[in-house]
Chain A
Amino acid sequence: ETGVTQSPTHLIKTRGQQVTLRCSSQSGHNTVSWYQQALGQGPQFIFQYYREEENGRGNFPPRFSGLQFPNYSSELNVNALELDDSALYLCASSLGGGANNEQFFGPGTRLTVL
């Protein structure tokens, strides 16, 4: 059984560019949540996907968007990158989207925006 994997591990972009981050969920999991963790802060919830549908969203602008595929892997897309988007982006998978379903986190993608 493989855990949650994310790619790439590190990424450097410039302001205004677009970026796509990828997450492969743990085998058997149908729910993926994305979090942004700025340096020295706790993770902040971006959104959750359950069976290919967005199932909830945090306080992030529309330029943060996502997809979940039939195999339950997921992408996070960020358009018009800003300097403040520099952060560690974490995805977490679970079996079900309820609060009682344990989330398993990937190692994250470190995004630097110059």
Chain B
Amino acid sequence: AQSVTQLGSHVSVSEGALVLLRCNYSSSVPPYLFWYVQYPNQGLQLLLKYTSAATLVKGINGFEAEFKKSETSFHLTKPSAHMSDAAEYFCAVTNTAYQKVTFGTGTKLQVIP
């Protein structure tokens, strides 16, 4: 079984401040982990993914995430928030069998000017 838990359904940060979105996972096998972003009325866009290579994963738009097995976490960070980062972010997990991806419930990021 696999699952993800995203802590905080809404996060607000000031423009230029650090963005930290939290994700904890549960998986019976080594996981593949993903972060997706969803803008209003749009589909999902992949930000980054962990596939058992480097534990620090760099993605698009300046985002990165660190896989910590001991903490079963895969938190998403960005050093400096931009207004354009306001969106909903989903953490997701799957195993190696096929793409039965399990998504978290999402975190809406608000960026305050």
Contact = CB atoms under 8 A, between A and B. Distances in A.
Interface in A23-79: 31, 33, 35, 40-45, 48, 50, 55-56, 58
Taking residues whose C-beta sits less than 8 angstroms from the other chain, chain A's interface range is: 20 to 34
B100 A58 contact: yes
Contact of A48 (B43, B99, B102, B104): B99
A104 B94 CA distance: 16
Contact of B90 (A43, A45, A92, A108): A43
A105 B44 CA distance: 6
A42 B99 contact: no
Contact of A107 (B43, B94, B98, B104): B43
Interface residues of B, number: 25
Nearest to B45: A105
Residue of A41, A43, A92, A108 with most chain B CB atoms under a 10 A cut-off: A43
Nearest to B103: A42
Contact of B43 (A31, A42, A90, A94): A90
B101 A102 contact: no
A71 to B, nearest CB: 20
B51 interface: yes
A20 interface: no
A68 to B, nearest CB: 14
Interface of B: 32, 36, 41-46, 49, 51, 90, 92, 94-106
